[in-house]
Every structure is written in structure tokens, then in C-alpha cells.
Structure 1
Amino acid sequence: MTVSFSTIDLNLLRVFDAVMEDRSVLRASQRVFLSQSAVSHSLARLREMLDDELFVRTSAGMQPTARARAMAPLVREALKTLEAAIGPPKFDPGSSTKTFTIAANDFTTAIVAPHLLRILKAEAPSVDIVIKPVTRIDLAEQIDLGRIDAAIGTFSGAPQRFNSNLLFEYDDVLIAGRAFETMTIEHLSRLSIVVVSFGGEQEGAIDGFISERGLARRSEMYDRRAFERAFAASERLPRLAVSLPHFLALPSLLEGSDLAAIVPRPLADSFARNHSISIYELPYPTARLEVRSLWHERHEGEASQEWLHGIMRRATEHLPIGSIKGGLA
């Protein structure tokens, strides 16, 4: 009897493989989630199609015939190949040479990248990371075009086509290159302040955020509203002496000077570990902001993308979510 592969029910081969593995109809039925009668019926159909007994019931279990033994490795390999073809694609970070592109500003890069690179070194030594400056590109367009795998930042709104994940939260603190005994509104009003802004009104910034194609990202990196409210009734305002487009120069500007700067708390902690910088709680409350990773919904379910978002969460798990722990430095 000639059997055409096009007429074979692949479920029959699954049953054959299970019986070959377990040498028991009962255990095979449990493996393939069928009843014993359904497994027996499948074997009967396959025996008839192949004109071979395939398995002989003995006291030691179901023993395969010569035809079954010859078929078994080929069927097992074919099932594995089919499973790989139609199953979700796998991603092995240990052997991958993939390059991921992330958009981030220098604040989030300084906070996230060192921990991210340590994970890569240990688990994915051949995976490369390209970090693009989030402030110099049309971020939404780059994500839409697939040129960016993920963006990290503070966003006030995002289109439905983008997914996001909370990484950490922060508020603002004051840093300075010299020590102060107290930090009151009166004391702060006498200081010259450095702030960081990634884009001005000429770039379309509204309330400290720049909006592009429905995606609004934070550009003014201090809580201006809280600052202005705190000094609304004061006769003297701090001098906003310097506005920078990045955080990188702050330590060298502050050390040995009378300047102070308003910065995100995690960045202040990083500066204080590596420079002669002191941290002070601001004498007024500031908004607590979320830093999120952002990616296009079309990547949902991709193994490599899910791994990337997983290691970004791990790289920021030491940072606070839900509470901000303050303290005078």
C-alpha cells in the first residue's frame, strides 16, 4: 500500500512518537493529552495506512517493530523541525551577535548603561548596543521606521502604537561643589543656578515637553513649575545663571565654584560618588517623574525584544518605584 504524505494526519505521528518514547498507551495518552482510546484508535489508523503492526504488546510494554524502529528517529526529527518552524522564534543571548539601538539622553544613559553593560558582559558578550541621543532626532519617526528598538525617557503622552514599561521614578534635588549649613528658600534665592534643557520654546516645547507625532518627551530637565511656585511670594529669585543642553559638564562647572544645579536625584547620587559634589534636598517639593522604556507594538512577542526589555528592567531594579528616599548629603 502506497501512502502519500499529503494524506497523513500529523497528529498520528505525534501519537507514534509518544508511544515510541513511553512504550505505553497510558503514558503516551498523558503526554499528548488524549484519552487511551483515542491513542489506540490513532495507532490503528497508522497501522492500517502503513500496513505494519508498528508496536507489539508484551509484558515489558509496547515493543516496536523493525519498521517502527526505522521510522522513529526520522519522525522525531521531523516533528522537531515543524515545531521550530511554526513555534515562536527563539533568541539565545549567549550566542547572538545582534545589535540593539536605544535612544536615551545623557542622564538616563549615565544611570542605566553601566548596569546594562554588566549584564551584557555576563550573559550576551557578543550583543552590541548603539545609543542614539534622544534629543537630536524625531523620536517617534525613528521608532516607527524601526531604526530604534527602544527609547528611554520621561514621556507625558504616547500614541497607542507604542508600548511602554516603567523603569524607575525620580524627583529633583540640588547639588553644589561646596558645603552649605542649611538650604532654605531664602538661602536658595541667593544662589546662581545651573539647569539643563534639551530644547527651548523655539523647538516647540510646551510646559517642558516637546511633542512629535503624538509623542511628548521631557525637554526641560527641572521642575520649573514647582520652582516658580516656591518663589511666587519671594522678593528675590535665584539667578538661573547657566542653561546647558546636557548634564555632562555639571561636575566640572560646580567643583570649586559658587554655582549650584537642580538635577534628577539618581544623577546627583552618581555625581556624588565620583566627584566632590554635595546633595541637598530642595526647600520645596518637586514632581515625581517616571522614566519609561518605549517601543513599537509590532515588536510585541519578538523573543529578542522581550529579552531586551527584560534586561533593561533588571538594569534599573536598584532604582526606586513608588517612593523616593531623600536625605541631606
Structure 2
Amino acid sequence: MSVNLASIEMRLLVVMDALLAENSVSKAAARLGMSQPATSNALNRLRQLFNDPLFVRVGSAMQPTARSQELAAPLSEALRQIENILVPQDFQPQDMPWVFTLAVSENASAVLLPALLAHLAETAPNIRVLAESHSNAQLVEMLDRNAIDFAIGVIPHLPRRFSRAPLFHDRYVCMMRRGHPLAQGPLTLDEFLQAEHLAVKPGFGETSRVDQLLAERGIQRNIFATAHQFVAAPAIVAHTNLLALMLERMLPMFDTSALHITEAPVEGLSVRSDLVWSQPRSSLPSHKWMARKIQAVARTLPQDPRQTPDAALPALANSLRHDKGDRPWTP
């Protein structure tokens, strides 16, 4: 049976794509810059169009029906093809509003995002960035269905169908409260192993990256407590005798007056944050433009990992103003 495409409003299909990506009316509305009532109204019209509930509530969550799941991949691909047709081959961000969705690690959010957003606000004010937090385990599926445009973080293992470009390096240092018995001199490996530690784990059931690095060296910490975010670590450490391994580039965002920072007694505790994207999207002019911007900002990060963001931003802005964007992006 043929369908009269002229009778179908394209925005409804865009809303459907966002609902499939978010499984939430409120999150889909935020993603699209629509009000929640307007998004709910669009969902009702989609239900009439497809003659299916499309999403059903299970507890507090929305779950896609079988029909929705069948639609997900072909709908996403069709919208991407339309996007390719409509986007000018020479992407000019000042000519149109554009939204990029990034999955950004906590470390990259603190280190890279302030400079990136400051630069975009000055040079491309029509661009909007949605920065989301997702575990590495979720990234493959989200990149495959175009729920995110890029992922930024320490992402060790990915199938070959994804591309990556290095952005910046960081290393772990040891943090404890000022006045801690171990703060009197250099921390030895024996002291490190005997002490109780706070581990920062990215998600439920995952081993922290630094504990993976330690395990590769045959070292296991005495973990007394865990937290899911680095932002919680300084306050916890300041009020206990726990030690924590902290990424050095994050230190400027904290008040370290109550903390003692020292070298970890284990060599090689360093990580690299990468920019990751799906290869099929590499040809999109908009993606090439954004990838260049992200890599350009990363190149201007201060060499001193403990330089404060306020001190670094003027230098970053000056450097980026002279970056004409003509460097090839890393494909």
C-alpha cells in the first residue's frame, strides 16, 4: 500500500527518533528543544500514524513496543540520509542552528568542556551542545544508532567500525587529607598498599580504570569505600584517613587547601582521552567541522595539568582565534 508522503509531517519522525534514543518524553523534548506537552502531543499523533502504542509505561520507565523496535534502525538511517542531503557540503554553523550530542566522561567534562563551550559561544553561537554521561559499555550501541554524535573519554576497546583521535593525556596522583600520617614524606609502595582507599568507579559493576592499571602490575589496593564520581572524592578524603587516586588535570576544579597531593608510588598510571565517532558519519560536513573544533581545543590545553581553568581560558581563546580550522581532521 502506497503512502502519501505529503500528508506526513517530517517533525513527527524526528520526534520518534528522539523518543527511541531517550525512552523518555522529557529527555526527548530537551534533546529537540521542544516543550514536554508538544512532545507528548507529537507522540499521540505518531501513535495514530503507526496505529500502535509505540511506547508503554513499565513502572517509572517508558519501554518501546515491538513495532517501535522494528522502526528504530530504518528510521534512524532514513533521517541520516535526509540529513546528508540537506547539509551544505561546506558546513557554515553561523547559517543554521545545530545540536551536537556528546557522551563525555567526568574527566573530559572538567578538562575539555569549559574551553570547548567558551570557544563555541564566541565563534559559533548557533551551535548547541548536549553533554551526557554514559558508561563505556553503552557507547557502542549509542554510536551505532546515532543517539550520540561523539564520545569523549578513556575508551580502551571498540570495534573497528569506529574511529578515534587522541585528545589529551592525564595521570593519576595520590590524594589524602592534609595532616594525614602519610603526608609527612614521599609515599612508599608499602604505605600505599597498607592504607585504606576510596575507589572512584564509573558505573555499577565496573572496575575503575586505575585499578585495571594496577592489576596489570600485580597490585591490588585495600578499598574501603567507593564513589561513582571524582567530584565526591575530595570531600570524602578531607574528612577521613582514606587515600584516593585522582586524575591530575581535575585538581584545579577543587579547593585543595585541606588536601595533600603527592606522587603515586606506582609508575605508568596514565590515561589518554580520545574522541570517538561512528565511521559512517565521518563524511558529514557538520561532523567534520565539530571534530576539528574539538581537536583544536584539545591542542590548546595547558601543558601544566594543574593550571586553573580561569588562567588558561584567555590563552586558549587567543590560540583558537588564530586557528583557521584548515588543519585536516583525524579520520
Which stretches in structure 1 are left out of the alignment for 5+ residues?
1-84, 209-219, 232-236
Query: What's the counterpart of residue 248 of structure 2?
Result: 265
Name the CA shift for 1:166/1:320 in 2 (closer, same or farther; >3 Å): farther
Secondary structure of residue in 1 paired with 2:93: coil
| Match runs of 1:90-105 below 5 Å | 90-105=90-105
Q: CA deviation at 1:225?
A: 4.5
Q: Which moved more, 1:122-131 or 1:191-200?
A: 191-200
Matching residue's letter, 1:105 = S
Q: CA deviation at 1:287?
A: 3.9
Q: Provide the identity percentage.
A: 22
- Residue among 178, 188, 192 paired with 2:192: 188
Name the CA shift for 1:318/1:253 in 2 (closer, same or farther; >3 Å): farther
Which stretches in structure 2 are left out of the alignment for 5+ residues?
1-84, 307-331
Q: Quote the Cα distance in structure 1 between the aligned partners of 2:188 and 2:218.
A: 11
Q: CA deviation at 1:154?
A: 1.7
Matching residue's letter, 2:145 = L
Q: CA deviation at 1:274?
A: 6.4
Does 2:281 align with 1:293?
Answer: no
Q: Quote the Cα distance in structure 2 between the aligned partners of 1:319 and 1:155.
A: 20
The answer to whether the Cα contact below 8 Å between 2:167 and 2:295 also exists between their aligned partners in 1 is yes
Secondary structure of residue in 2 paired with 1:252: helix
Query: What's the counterpart of residue 107 of structure 2?
Result: 107
The answer to whether the Cα contact below 8 Å between 2:104 and 2:152 also exists between their aligned partners in 1 is yes
Query: 1:206-236: CA deviations, max 9, x gaps?
Result: xx4xxxxxxxxxxx231444268475xxxxx
The answer to whether the Cα contact below 8 Å between 1:195 and 1:244 also exists between their aligned partners in 2 is yes
Does 2:299 align with 1:317?
Answer: yes
The answer to whether the Cα contact below 8 Å between 2:108 and 2:152 also exists between their aligned partners in 1 is yes
- Residue among 209, 219, 226 paired with 2:214: 226
Secondary structure of residue in 2 paired with 1:171: strand
Query: What's the counterpart of residue 43 of structure 1?
Result: none
Secondary structure of residue in 2 paired with 1:306: helix
Query: What's the counterpart of residue 251 of structure 1?
Result: 234
Query: What's the counterpart of residue 131 of structure 1?
Result: 131
What's the RMSD between the two structures over aligned residues? 3.1
Q: CA deviation at 1:293?
A: 0.7
Matching residue's letter, 2:191 = H
The answer to whether the Cα contact below 8 Å between 1:168 and 1:316 also exists between their aligned partners in 2 is yes
| Match runs of 1:132-151 below 5 Å | 132-135=132-135, 138-151=138-151
Q: CA deviation at 1:290?
A: 1.9
Structure possessing the higher radius of gyration over alpha carbons: 1
Query: 1:84-110: CA deviations, max 9, x gaps?
Result: x99961222234311100002222211
Query: What's the counterpart of residue 282 of structure 1?
Result: 264
Secondary structure of residue in 1 paired with 2:92: coil
Matched pairs, number? 218
Secondary structure of residue in 1 paired with 2:209: coil
Query: 1:103-126: CA deviations, max 9, x gaps?
Result: 022222111111111111111112
Q: Quote the Cα distance in structure 1 between the aligned partners of 2:177 and 2:297.
A: 29
Secondary structure of residue in 2 paired with 1:134: coil
Q: CA deviation at 1:130?
A: 0.7
The answer to whether the Cα contact below 8 Å between 2:87 and 2:286 also exists between their aligned partners in 1 is no
The answer to whether the Cα contact below 8 Å between 2:175 and 2:245 also exists between their aligned partners in 1 is yes
Name the CA shift for 1:242/1:319 in 2 (closer, same or farther; >3 Å): farther
The answer to whether the Cα contact below 8 Å between 1:143 and 1:295 also exists between their aligned partners in 2 is yes
Q: CA deviation at 1:319?
A: 4.5
Query: What's the counterpart of residue 198 of structure 1?
Result: 202
Matching residue's letter, 1:198 = P
Q: Quote the Cα distance in structure 1 between the aligned partners of 2:88 and 2:300.
A: 31
Query: 1:24-60: CA deviations, max 9, x gaps?
Result: xxxxxxxxxxxxxxxxxxxxxxxxxxxxxxxxxxxxx
Query: What's the counterpart of residue 49 of structure 2?
Result: none
Secondary structure of residue in 2 paired with 1:262: strand
The answer to whether the Cα contact below 8 Å between 1:176 and 1:259 also exists between their aligned partners in 2 is yes
Secondary structure of residue in 1 paired with 2:277: strand
Q: CA deviation at 1:305?
A: 0.8
Secondary structure of residue in 2 paired with 1:312: helix
Query: 1:106-165: CA deviations, max 9, x gaps?
Result: 222111111111111111112111112122872111111111100012222222221111
